[in-house]
Amino acid sequence: MPSLHTMGQQQDRRSWAEPYKIKAVEPLYMTSRDHRERAIADAGYNTFLLHSRDVYIDLLTDSGTNAMSDRQWSGMMLGDEAYAGSENFYHLEQTVKECYGYEYLVPTHQGRGAENLLSSTLIKPGHHVPGNMYFTTTRFHQERNGATFHDIIVDEAHDTSSLFEFKGNVDLDKLQRLIDEVGADAIPYVCVAATVNMAGGQPISMANIKAVRELTARYGIPIYLDATRAVENALFIQEREEGYADKSIAEILKEFCSHTDGATMSGKKDPIVNIGGWLSTNDREVFEEARNLVVVYEGLHTYGGMAGRDMEAMAIGIRESLDDDYMKSRVGQVRYLGMLLEQWGVPFVKPVGGHGIFLDARAFYPHLAQDQFPSQTLAWQLYLDSGVRAMERGIVSAGRDPVTGEHRRPKLELTRLTIPRRVYTQAHMDVVAEAVKECYEERESVKGLKMVYEPKYLRFFQARFEPLA
């Protein structure tokens, strides 16, 4: 039998392993089923409300949960904690310029800080913002500033069984139709994410971003990239797109960004740190306005809510994220988990994306209506079975339409197993896969949930549920 790691590659290839070894470890705690039953009930059946002490393997998110390298930790000692003009800011600014190619940088405490700055700088009430699927915080800031969000992702993205290789692509016809309908003046920018989180970590191709650029340039509409996982996106381009097999991930990233005008970044993902973010742009006016606003919401324009040491760790982490072997092992680990689940016939989004496995909760629980929260139910069941923590990415995350007040009903009801970077081993992936298999085998007896507390904003973080009788 071929090594599990050779999935999708030549069968006679030898296994690879992570290009690093472990220097410090953190203990994990195992719990009994009784304990977990109490813990999840106390948490209102919402995995966001669990204490991490009660979690065994934490796949809630890949955000800020990364393991830093010894180089990054030593960079922390070089923190220049001056209120103004920290050395580490200039290092980060230079690194972003060299690796992503953008001219100006405004640091923020994390991704949503950058989204706030960008949305408040560019959006006026009545505007329309097209994007390749929504992300929760990104769309929230767009709507809060008075814009209407339009999903212009290709239809394949909404189909969990489609094997299309670039499910993150923008549908150019949808974009053209929107421009014809509302007029270019009402579109302050196109928001392009790479990879697309809510679609399952799916990539967008170089050809597609080029085509989006050609189209929008005719109307003078800028493109802002959600670059949160753009390095992961570059790996998919290298593997799947003609002409990129011999280019490095660093080269591909820079070329990709060159087709956009700026980016928002959650440093908690690709840059392998625990906190931080930034807004970057090539537009001097946008920069001036954002740099002015950052002092109101985040901190001075040379720290933006980060400590000097955080900026140093991020600058180092960005370089590490561009190492081809690292990125192959990062996404390779996600694929390994996918391959185990595939062998057991468990339904999930394919092809496997960059940062996690997105279980298809509708296919798990066809007997549950969307109002009975199938994805939330699956996250609950997984935790109960094994202490593995997953995240709902379905109707709860989608929230309510700000105009009608109705639930938004996404086609995808997904439960996400998100893999932190450099944190868990292959054995942890085995344990996770076996827990999912167990839940899949028990699926027919499972009843859903009802929501008993619903916060007004980004409800998925703090909503509470009760099991249906």
Q: Which residues are catalytic?
A: 83, 135-136, 226, 269, 393, 460
63 or 66: CB nearest ligand F0G: 63
Q: Which two tokens stand for residue 253?
A: 């990233």
230 or 368: CB nearest ligand F0G: 230
Q: Which two tokens stand for residue 184?
A: 């270019």
Stretch that binds ligand F0G, among 130-138, 140-148, 363-371, 432-440 (CB under 6 A): 130-138
Stretch that binds ligand F0G, among 79-87, 110-118, 149-157, 233-241 (CB under 6 A): 110-118
DSSP-based three-state secondary structure for 282: coil
Q: Is the peptide bond prior to 410 cis by the omega test (within 30 degrees of 0)?
A: no
Q: Quick one: which of 142, 266, 375, 381 contacts ligand F0G (CB under 6 A)?
A: 266
Cα–Cα distance measured from residue 246 to residue 137, given in angstroms and rounded to the nearest whole number:
36
63 or 86: CB nearest ligand F0G: 63
197 or 260: CB nearest ligand F0G: 197
Interaction pattern, residues 36-75, with ligand F0G; x per rule: CB under 6 A: -------------------------x-x------------
DSSP-based three-state secondary structure for 130: strand
> Which of positions 204-243 make contact with ligand F0G (CB under 6 A)?
226, 228
339-348 contacts at long range (C-beta below 8 A, 24 or more positions apart): 339/4, 339/7, 340/4, 340/429, 340/430, 340/433, 341/433, 341/436, 341/437, 344/433, 344/437, 344/440, 345/440, 346/436, 346/437, 346/440, 347/160, 348/160
If binding is defined by CB under 6 A, does position 415 make contact with ligand F0G? no
Angle, alpha carbons 345-351-14 (nearest 5°):
85
160 or 197: CB nearest ligand F0G: 197
> Which of positions 75-94 make contact with ligand F0G (CB under 6 A)?
none
Q: Which of 107, 66, 62 is nearest to 197 (CA)?
A: 62
CB of 314 to ligand F0G, least distance (A): 12
Stretch that binds ligand F0G, among 48-56, 83-91, 93-101, 107-115 (CB under 6 A): 107-115
Q: Quick one: which of 134, 135, 365, 440 contacts ligand F0G (CB under 6 A)?
A: 135
Buried b (16+ CB within 10 A) or exposed e, 188-207: bbbbbbbbbbbbbbbbbbbe
- State which amino acid sits at residue 287: F
How big is the site for ligand F0G, counted in residues (CB under 6 A)? 15
Stretch that binds ligand F0G, among 119-127, 135-143, 335-343, 402-410 (CB under 6 A): 135-143
CB of 264 to ligand F0G, least distance (A): 7
Residue nearest to ligand F0G (CB): 111
Q: Which of 71, 78, 77, 79 is nearest to 23 (CA)?
A: 71
> Which of positions 171-200 make contact with ligand F0G (CB under 6 A)?
193, 197
If binding is defined by CB under 6 A, does position 138 make contact with ligand F0G? yes
If binding is defined by CB under 6 A, does position 131 make contact with ligand F0G? no
If binding is defined by CB under 6 A, does position 111 make contact with ligand F0G? yes
How far, in whole angstroms, is CA 273 from its chain's centroid? Answer: 14
Cα–Cα distance measured from residue 70 to residue 75, given in angstroms and rounded to the nearest whole number:
8
Q: Is the dihedral of CA 405, 411, 415, 421 positive or negative?
A: negative
Q: Check if the beta carbon of residue 257 is closer than 8 Å to that of residue 217.
A: no
Interaction pattern, residues 269-308, with ligand F0G; x per rule: CB under 6 A: --------x-------------------------------
391 or 446: CB nearest ligand F0G: 391
Q: Which two tokens stand for residue 428?
A: 């942890």
CB of 246 to ligand F0G, least distance (A): 29
Q: Quick one: which of 47, 137, 370, 386 contacts ligand F0G (CB under 6 A)?
A: 137
Q: Check if the beta carbon of residue 268 is closer than 8 Å to that of residue 61.
A: no
Cα–Cα distance measured from residue 286 to residue 104, given in angstroms and rounded to the nearest whole number:
9
CB of 276 to ligand F0G, least distance (A): 8
Kind of pairing between the strands at 449-453 and 464-467: antiparallel
Cα–Cα distance measured from residue 333 to residue 405, given in angstroms and rounded to the nearest whole number:
40
Q: Quick one: which of 110, 116, 142, 145 contacts ligand F0G (CB under 6 A)?
A: 110
Stretch that binds ligand F0G, among 109-117, 208-216, 308-316, 454-462 (CB under 6 A): 109-117
- Residues near ligand F0G (CB under 6 A) are 61, 63, 110-112, 135, 137-138, 193, 197, 226, 228, 266, 268, 277
